[in-house]
């Protein structure tokens, strides 16, 4: 499609085109053949002028008019129209956040598919051939993440006070929250210190992201106090990243402290991590094995300890330990752990010791 044709479409009343396209029933494609779809080079011939219009337009309505014109152009095969719009979104991923106005992404989010096909696991269930809604949502999330990360560690990063305010407001498990976290991980030590001081002066203390700041600083004292009563949903992601920021000894001490966390899932994860990072010398491994045997009686961690024993010790050692143990209940548990070892070998035939 020629550039002039795309740009001329901006003069059309795009709202009428949108309503017309959304009113149409989607076409059902029984068998999708890749030969029915245009190649990337052909798609880019249509997408290039759309991107140029997006980058030069002063009014997002001009971009919407051009996009709606493509979608409603019956001289273009239906699947090709959808493919052009999908490729447009993919190409936007390569450009800086905000290249397309939020109004453009909202438009994509409101579109009904022009073509559907049967889901691979249930042909009666229609799914879009090109899921423009999901692709636009993914692009929006990517840009939100990227903009948040750059606001922390990019060239035009905010001041420490500005960052502390943003951290206070950021919700966890959102693109913005995860982007801010990624930015924290990229900060140099001097910048981290300044941000930590700014957080300390705020009532909110930088919210859930304070833990990421102190983890990046390697502040074990702060982390130990936080770990005592922090919710599991906040603790687990930080424990998973602890060894990226702390040396082996400090990370091991943090995991040992996590064994006392009130949430059994947190404690079990720490137990697994400590087993994974055991020293290779026999004395340390024997001492840890004895500790795991002691934990078998503990209601909160007994199952997790049994799993780590099965990973750590061969069934012969477990059976010998069972025979030598004075407590019949522990004997039986060790016998069951030995059976678990055989199960682990069956599902992980190449499994070696941690």
pLDDT in tens, 242-299: 999 999 999 999 999 999 999 999 999 999 999 999 888 878 888 888 888 888 888 8
pLDDT of residue 238: 95
Q: pLDDT digit string (tens) for 73-113?
A: 999 999 999 999 999 999 999 999 999 999 999 999 999 99
Q: How far apart, in whole angstroms, are the C-alpha atoms of residue 258 and residue 271?
A: 9
pLDDT of residue 286: 80
Closest CA to 68 of 112, 25, 116, 21: 21
Q: How far apart, in whole angstroms, are the C-alpha atoms of residue 287 and residue 299?
A: 21
Q: How far apart, in whole angstroms, are the C-alpha atoms of residue 219 and residue 245?
A: 10
Residues sharing a CB contact under 8 Å with residue 203, sequence separation 6 or more, in sequence order? none
Provide the residue ranges of all domains of the chain, joining segments of one domain with +.
Answer: 3-130, 278-354
Tokens representing residue 207 in the block: 């919210």
Tokens representing residue 282 in the block: 């026999």
Are 280 and 312 spatial neighbours (Cβ–Cβ below 8 Å)?
Answer: no
pLDDT of residue 140: 97
Per-residue pLDDT at 314 exceeds 80 = no
pLDDT of residue 15: 44
Per-residue pLDDT at 3 exceeds 60 = no
Are 110 and 159 spatial neighbours (Cβ–Cβ below 8 Å)?
Answer: no
DSSP letter string, 190-206: HHHHHHHHHHHTSSSTT
Global pTM reads 0.78
Average pLDDT over residues 157-171: 93
Q: What's the maximum distance between 2 C-alpha atoms anywhere in the chain? A: 88
**Given pLDDT bands bounded at 50, 70 and 90, which one contains residue 9?**
very low
End-to-end, the C-alpha distance of the chain in Å comes to 59
Per-residue pLDDT at 186 exceeds 80 = yes
Q: How far apart, in whole angstroms, are the C-alpha atoms of residue 242 and residue 270?
A: 11
Per-residue pLDDT at 318 exceeds 80 = no
Q: How far apart, in whole angstroms, are the C-alpha atoms of residue 292 and residue 301?
A: 9
What is the pairing mode between strands 115-119 and 122-128?
A: antiparallel
User: Cα angle vertex 238, ends 171, 232, to 5°?
Assistant: 70
Per-residue pLDDT at 195 exceeds 50 = yes
E-state strands within the chain: 27-29, 115-119, 122-128
Q: What percent of the chain has pLDDT over 90?
A: 59
Lowest mean pLDDT among 111-125, 207-221, 310-324: 310-324
Per-residue pLDDT at 168 exceeds 70 = yes
pLDDT of residue 154: 86
pLDDT of residue 315: 58
DSSP designation for 29: E
Q: How far apart, in whole angstroms, are the C-alpha atoms of residue 329 and residue 320?
A: 15
Lowest mean pLDDT among 16-30, 43-57, 90-104, 249-263: 16-30
Task: Kindly list the distances between the CA atom of residue 129 and the CA atoms of 70, 71, 106, 137, 353, in Å, as whole numbers in the listed order.
Answer: 17, 15, 20, 16, 46
Q: Please provide the average confidence, as pLDDT, over all residues in the chain.
A: 84
φ, ψ (nearest 5 deg) of residue 298:
-85, 120
Q: How far apart, in whole angstroms, are the C-alpha atoms of residue 100 and residue 89?
A: 10
């Amino acid at each position: 499609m020629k550039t002039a044709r795309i740009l001329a479409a901006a003069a059309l009343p795009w709202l009428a085109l949108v309503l017309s396209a959304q009113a149409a029933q989607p076409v059902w494609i029984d068998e999708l053949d890749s030969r029915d779809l245009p190649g990337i080079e052909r798609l880019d011939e249509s997408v290039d002028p759309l991107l140029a219009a997006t980058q030069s337009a002063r009014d997002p309505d001009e971009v919407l008019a051009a996009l709606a014109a493509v979608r409603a152009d019956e001289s273009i095969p239906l699947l090709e129209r959808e493919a052009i719009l999908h490729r447009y979104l993919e190409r936007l991923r390569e450009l800086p956040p905000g290249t397309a106005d939020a109004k453009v992404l909202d438009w994509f989010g409101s579109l009904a598919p022009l073509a559907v096909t049967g889901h691979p696991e249930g042909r009666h269930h229609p799914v879009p051939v090109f899921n423009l809604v999901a692709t636009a949502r993914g692009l929006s999330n990517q840009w939100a993440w990227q903009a948040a990360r750059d606001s922390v560690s990019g060239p035009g990063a905010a001041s420490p006070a500005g960052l502390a305010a943003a951290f206070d407001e950021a919700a966890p498990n959102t693109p913005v929250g995860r982007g801010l976290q990624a930015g924290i991980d990229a900060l140099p030590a001097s910048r981290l210190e300044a941000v930590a001081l700014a957080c300390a002066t705020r009532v909110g203390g930088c919210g859930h992201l304070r833990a990421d700041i102190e983890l990046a600083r390697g502040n074990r004292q702060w982390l130990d106090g936080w770990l005592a009563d922090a919710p599991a949903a906040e603790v687990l992601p930080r424990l998973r990243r602890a060894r990226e920021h702390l040396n082996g000894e400090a990370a091991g001490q943090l995991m040992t402290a996590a064994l006392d966390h009130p949430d059994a899932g947190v404690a079990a994860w720490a137990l697994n991590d400590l087993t994974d990072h055991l020293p290779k010398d026999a004395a340390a491994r024997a001492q840890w094995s004895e500790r795991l045997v002691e934990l078998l009686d503990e209601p909160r961690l007994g199952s997790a300890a049994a799993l780590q024993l099965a990973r750590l010790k061969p069934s012969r050692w477990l059976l010998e330990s069972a025979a030598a143990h004075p407590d019949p209940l522990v004997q039986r548990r060790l016998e069951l752990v030995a059976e678990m070892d055989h199960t682990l070998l069956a599902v992980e035939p190449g499994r070696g010791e941690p």
